Amino acid sequence: MNNSIQKRLLITTTLVLALFLTITGYVLDRSFRDSVVAGAEQQLRLVIYSLMGSVQEQDGRLTFSQGVTEPRLTQPDSGLYAKVANDTGAAIWTSPSAVTTAVDFPIVDSQPGLFVFRELAGEVARFHLSYTVYWEDVDTEQVVFGAATDRAPFQVAINQFRRSLGLGLGAATVLFIVAQLLALRWGLLPLRTMAEEVHELESGEREQLSAAYPQELKGLAENLDRFVQHEQRSRSRYRNALDDLAHSLKTPLAVVRNSLLDHQVNRDLVGEQLDRMETTVTHQLTKASAGGPVVVGQSVAVAGLVQRLLRALETAYMERGITVTTHLDEQAIVRGDERDFMEIVGNLLENAFKYCRQSVRVTVGRSTNHRTRAVIRIEDDGEGIPEALRKDVLRRGRRLDEMQSGQGIGLAVVAELVELYAGNLDITDSDLGGACITLTLG
């Protein structure tokens, strides 16, 4: 089957419609036919009642007046016939229409007082109704009144109804299919528009999808835009990292080259420049390899990540006897690359352990106005970060070779990663006496 959604929906709805209309047509046809047959039976009952009203008794025999109330009983080939017989089937009276047409009436064996309706097959199909009564003071006590009518006029009405019903349902089917096709084309228009815009994205004719999408596709459009932006940021990050790396390595390489030209190599100087280059390469690789918030990022439990990092840091700083207090919300999660979050939270916790005097407090919770955003607060009792330097240490785009060794390199990496994840990083004073760093991630 073709993978077109429109064709699948159209075929499915057409089959459902065909089944529904077939059942509807069958029910309507049966109802109309039963109504026609019931009308024929009612007509024959009136004929029998008319015959019973015209019976006269004479010398123990039944006779019928000449003026029968139904004129068609006296007309040849009128399509309406009647016969009155005894319990053996012998005729007591036969209508002139039945005599001239040679209509055969079936022998009826039924209880008195009951109407028996039949549909007679044969060369000429007919409806037949009989009614048996006991008639006192006559030679034959049990009398059978019978009436018959040709089925042809009724069948004509049924056939006309079937033709009209078929034409009506057929027209309704065609109109419904056309309306369904138009509705599907209109309903699936946003999908076709999205496919065209994605093609334009691939060919570079546009940078993002349009915003005019229905509610059902808005999430998909936003995720596609995020994916495109993620790819664009990755390419830009790689280019910038390479540019920064090349620029940062120029000075150390020049120092090493000049030192090698001297007859006496300054080992301390060369070692210092090599350490600087190694740190620079590590920093730029960290920036370039950051995963960022992809469309289908894995969910990371913040509490578990913080606990793993704290266990490692408590072991590393065991000799200092640092007291760690935690308040962790197990339901707080973030979506993205776990390695990025390890880098972010690990740098912040390591700074807290490095610069605290005795105490570190870590709180993990969720934002009050956004249940899916995790809030991480890390506090220490160290000297803190002066307010004048807080914006400076978090400044984006600052190159490593502009910073002094050990002064804010970790925070610079954290700031870049937090910006990549569209998060927020604030530095305030802690009531413990040191710095309080609040990190908000979604």
278, 326: one domain: no
- Looking at the structure, do residues 28 and 134 belong to the same domain, yes or no? yes
What pLDDT, on a 0 to 100 scale, did the predictor assign at position 219?
Answer: 76
Q: What's the pLDDT tens digit per position in 415-430?
A: 877 887 778 888 889 8
The pLDDT value recorded for residue 11 is 87
Judge whether 352 lies within some domain: yes
Q: 361 near 397, Cβ under 8 Å?
A: no
Task: Identify the pLDDT of residue 280.
Answer: 62
Q: What is the mean pLDDT of residues 256-269?
A: 62
Q: Identify the residue with better confidence: 177 or 222.
A: 177
Query: pLDDT (tens digit, 9 = 90+) per residue, 289-346?
Result: 555 555 445 788 888 989 988 888 888 888 888 899 999 988 888 877 787 788 888 8
Same domain, 134 and 63: yes
Neighbour tally for 222: CB within 10 Å: 15
Q: Which of 283-292, 378-387, 426-435 is least confident? A: 283-292
Q: Is residue 206 part of a domain?
A: no
Residue 210: inside a domain? no
How many Cα atoms occupy the beta-carbon half-sphere of 105 within 13 Å? 33
Whether pTM exceeds 0.75: no
The answer to whether residues 307 and 263 belong to one domain is no
Mean of pLDDT over the chain: 79
Residues 29 and 152 placed together within one structural domain of the fold: yes
Q: What is the pLDDT of residue 164?
A: 93
- Using the 3D structure, point to which of 255, 288, 321 is the last residue of a domain: 288
For 235, the token pair is 């390419």
| Residue-wise pLDDT tens digits, 92-106 | 888 888 888 878 888
CA dist., res. 11 & res. 386, Å (int): 71
pLDDT at 212 over 70: yes
Residue type, 425: L
Would you tell me the crossing angle of helices 409-420 and 338-355 to the nearest 10 degrees?
150
pLDDT tens, position by position, 74-95: 888 788 998 888 877 788 888 8
Q: Give a yes or no: residue 179 inside a domain.
A: no
Confidence band of 163 (pLDDT split at 50, 70, 90): very high
Whether 268 is in a domain gets the answer yes
What pLDDT sits at residue 262? Answer: 61
Q: What is the CATH number of the domain that holds 125?
A: 3.30.450
Q: How many domains does the chain have?
A: 3
Pair (428, 325) in one structural domain? yes
Q: Is pLDDT above 70 for 246? A: no
Q: Domain range spanning residue 24? A: 6-157
Domain boundary among 157, 176, 197: 157
User: What's residue 32's pLDDT?
Assistant: 93
The mean per-residue pLDDT over the stretch 359-373 comes to 78
- Does one domain contain both 351 and 254? no
Distance CA 86, CA 132 (A): 9
Which of residues 136, 157, 178 is at a domain's end? 157
- Which CATH number goes with the domain that contains 412? 3.30.565.10
The backbone torsions φ and ψ at residue 356, rounded to the nearest 5 degrees and listed phi first, read -80, 165
Same domain, 92 and 41: yes
My answer on whether 254 and 396 are in the same domain is no
Angle between helices 215-261 and 189-203 (to 10 degrees): 10
150 lies in the same domain as 248: no
The answer to whether the beta carbons of residues 120 and 104 sit under 8 Å apart is no
Amino acid letter, 77: D
Q: Are residues 222 and 318 in the same domain?
A: no
**Residues 335 and 283 placed together within one structural domain of the fold:** no
Residues 50 and 46: their CA atoms lie apart, in Å, by 6
Binning pLDDT at 50, 70 and 90, where does residue 266 land?
low
